[in-house]
DNA sequence: TTTTTGTATACTGTATACAAAATTATTATT
DNA sequence: AATAATAATTTTGTATACAGTATACAAAAA
């Protein structure tokens, strides 16, 4: 019996990714292989495997013969990601409305409902729920390829890393409207709802960029 | 043992990828590392780097302790990819129509026009032009992230590998209609045009699947 | 001072070594 | 002859060794 069925490279991938999203490794920081490998208790070989995977996900950038640095996402790139999300999540929710089980739909409600009653809203918890809300729709839309594309592209991760864009009170209402549209199996309202929801956040970021952060 | 400024891993990635798309390595085939490394004249280390990259792109599947095999795309997956393309290329062409230079638009026309006069249509050449047509729109839409997502997801590569889905005579007309919509900067006609263009191919594949290949 | 050059050190990319697991071949047992 | 058990071989994952490149830093020149 194997202790862990993951090989070291995959394990390291998860741990380093976690270090990046939790900002233990900050954007722009150079990763010294031997150092990080020692810290993880492994050799450079599986660490390099991990870095290779992270590079494929654009979480890290490798400059030949110079090393790998944690990638940072510019505001322009965040806007680009929003456009990808609008397109892909539109497609995902269209499928989700048509094919998702009542259980999956129910889990969406359970995710968001608590925040309608508990005041004040715990921003940290809300952001997690927000993330999971979108993830649930994409994961359960029935298109596996789309979900993988989303995951491997870190469409959610990248945007999560900038924190809440708008006030929970504002987006909570939108989330509820989307859930209701799904529940009455209203495809166009659901698509419209999620796309406008994302568009609003995008517009706010765009505005902030123009005003110089 | 330095041949170019690319490191061996990146070089090997390109060569092995080429071997996969050109069917020199066929889906389902197991890759024996030492063997392929020797064939490429490198050691296992950079080859493993290459395989790691290919796995991140889903062109290859790695089963721990058992090896890596060339991935094959089922018909179901091809259909899933079409839905992703419909979503993303819709977004891309929307941006392209608004922002692309006249030169970029012109290059689209140059790509397709020759096939309107030369008869009979060279299917091989046409497929290449078809691929380039879509690639041009995505590459020049101004959203770099979207283009990278497309590339890394191999959305075009996967579908190209199954060959022409419909007769050139049929799709040629659609391509021309799309170009004309772009030229008169008609966003909704262009979006509609490319999405319906893809939808038609998807429906044909779906039909073939139902009829049992 | 600032710039340049030389040298030591650190780090990366690649090859190789080695143990553990998987696969294949061989023998033994019914 | 079919199945099980065992040994031999292959192959993978990981660690380590090594060569070459980049970086840091001190001494010399401007």
CB B147 within 8 A of CB B141: yes
A128-135: long-range pairs with CB below 8 Å, 24+: A130/A164, A130/A171, A130/A175, A131/A156, A131/A160, A133/A108, A133/A175, A134/A89
SS3 sequence of A169-195: HHHHHHHHHHHHHHHCCCHHHHHHHHH
CATH code at B59?
1.10.10.10
CATH code at A117?
1.20.120.530
Residue A33 Cβ < 7 Å to strand C: yes
Give mean pLDDT, residues A25-48: 95
The CA distance from A160 to A76, in Å, is 15
Q: What is the CA B32 to C1' D5 distance in angstroms?
A: 28
Tell me: pLDDT of A208 over 80. yes
Answer whether B52 sits within 8 Å of A49, measured CB to CB. yes
Q: Which domain holds residue A108?
A: 75-210
Of the candidates B96, B80, B97, the one whose C-alpha atom is nearest the C-alpha of residue B159 is B80
Would residue A98 count as lying in a domain? yes
Give mean pLDDT, residues A33-59: 96
Please write the tens of the pLDDT for every residue from B119-146.
888 999 999 999 999 999 999 999 999 9
Of the candidates A192, A209, A154, the one whose C-alpha atom is nearest the C-alpha of residue A21 is A154
Would residue B124 count as lying in a domain? yes
Would residue B2 count as lying in a domain? no
- The pLDDT value recorded for residue B118 is 76
Do A123 and A86 fall within a single domain? yes
Answer whether A52 sits within 8 Å of B57, measured CB to CB. no
Could you give the number of structural domains in chain A? 2
Please write the tens of the pLDDT for every residue from B1-29.
333 457 899 999 999 999 999 999 999 99
| Percent over 70 (pLDDT), chain B | 97
Would residue B1 count as lying in a domain? no
Would residue A2 count as lying in a domain? no
Q: Which positions ≥6 away from A118 have C-beta within 8 Å?
A: none
Q: How much is the mean pLDDT over chain A?
A: 93
Give mean pLDDT, residues A90-112: 96
Do B109 and B33 fall within a single domain? no
Residue B53 Cβ < 7 Å to strand C: no
Between CA B13 and CA B141, with CA B139 as vertex, the angle to 5 degrees is 155
Of the candidates A212, A199, A205, A110, the one whose C-alpha atom is nearest the C-alpha of residue A164 is A205
Instruction: Tell me which residue in B7, B45, B88 faces A87 most closely, judged by beta carbons.
Output: B88
Q: What is the CA A148 to C1' C21 distance in angstroms?
A: 30
The CA distance from A104 to A108, in Å, is 7
- The pLDDT value recorded for residue A39 is 95
Give mean pLDDT, residues A27-46: 95
Please write the tens of the pLDDT for every residue from B166-200.
999 999 999 999 999 999 999 999 999 999 999 99
Would residue A128 count as lying in a domain? yes
Give mean pLDDT, residues A148-170: 93
Last residue of a domain, one of B36, B70, B104: B70
Tell me: pLDDT of A150 over 70. yes
Would residue A33 count as lying in a domain? yes
Do A64 and A140 fall within a single domain? no
Do B48 and B92 fall within a single domain? no
Do B145 and B176 fall within a single domain? yes
User: Which of A2, A11, A52 is best to mutate for the B interface (most B CBs within 10 A)?
Assistant: A52
Do A160 and A89 fall within a single domain? yes
Would residue A87 count as lying in a domain? yes
Do A28 and A108 fall within a single domain? no
Tell me: pLDDT of A135 over 60. yes
- The pLDDT value recorded for residue B6 is 75
Per-residue pLDDT band for A37 (boundaries 50, 70, 90) equals very high
- Minimal CA separation from A52 to chain B, in Å: 7
Per-residue pLDDT band for A2 (boundaries 50, 70, 90) equals very low
Do B87 and B59 fall within a single domain? no
Tokens 């996900």 found at: A57
Per-residue pLDDT band for A148 (boundaries 50, 70, 90) equals very high
Do B111 and B13 fall within a single domain? no
Do A144 and A49 fall within a single domain? no
Say yes or no: B88 contacts chain A, CB-CB below 8 A.
Answer: yes
Give mean pLDDT, residues A42-60: 96
Do A62 and A134 fall within a single domain? no
The CA distance from B78 to B156, in Å, is 11
- Minimal CA separation from A7 to chain B, in Å: 7
- The pLDDT value recorded for residue A5 is 60
Nucleotide nearest to A63 (CA to C1'): C12
Answer whether A145 sits within 8 Å of B90, measured CB to CB. no
**Residues 7 through 26 of chain A touching chain B, CB cutoff 8 Å:** 7, 9-10
Instruction: Tell me which residue in B56, B86, B145 faces A84 most closely, judged by beta carbons.
Output: B145
Helix (H, G, I), strand (E, B) or coil at B209: helix
Do A140 and A64 fall within a single domain? no
Tell me: pLDDT of A213 over 90. no
Tell me: pLDDT of A210 over 70. yes
Please write the tens of the pLDDT for every residue from B92-105.
999 999 999 999 99
Give mean pLDDT, residues B46-71: 96
Question: Which residue of chain B comes nearest to A145, CA vs CA?
Answer: B80
Give mean pLDDT, residues A132-145: 98
Q: How much is the mean pLDDT over chain B?
A: 94
The CA distance from A201 to A194, in Å, is 11
Q: Kindly list the protein residues whose beta carbon lies within 7 Å of any strand D atom.
A: A 7-9, 42-46, 49, 65-66; B 2, 30-35, 44-45, 48, 62, 64-68
- The pLDDT value recorded for residue B5 is 58
């Amino acid at each position: 019996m194997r202790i862990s069925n993951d090989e070291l490279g995959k394990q390291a991938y998860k741990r380093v990714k976690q270090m990046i999203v939790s900002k233990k490794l900050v954007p722009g920081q150079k990763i010294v292989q031997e150092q990080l490998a020692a810290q993880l208790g492994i050799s450079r070989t599986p660490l390099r495997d991990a870095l290779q995977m992270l590079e494929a996900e654009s979480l890290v950038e490798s400059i030949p013969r110079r090393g790998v640095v944690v990638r940072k996402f510019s505001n322009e790139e965040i806007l680009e990601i929003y456009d990808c999300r609008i397109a892909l999540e539109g497609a995902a929710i269209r499928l989700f409305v048509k094919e998702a089980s009542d259980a999956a739909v129910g889990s969406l409600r359970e995710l968001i409902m608590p925040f309608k009653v508990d005041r004040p809203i715990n921003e940290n918890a809300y952001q997690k729920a927000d993330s999971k809300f979108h993830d649930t729709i994409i994961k359960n839309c029935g298109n596996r390829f789309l979900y993988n594309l989303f995951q491997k592209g870190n469409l959610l991760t990248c945007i999560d890393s900038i924190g809440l864009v708008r006030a929970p009170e504002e987006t909570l209402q939108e989330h509820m409207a989307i859930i209701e549209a799904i529940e009455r199996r209203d495809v166009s309202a659901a698509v419209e709802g999620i796309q406008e929801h994302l568009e609003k956040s995008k517009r706010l970021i765009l505005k902030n960029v123009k005003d110089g952060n």
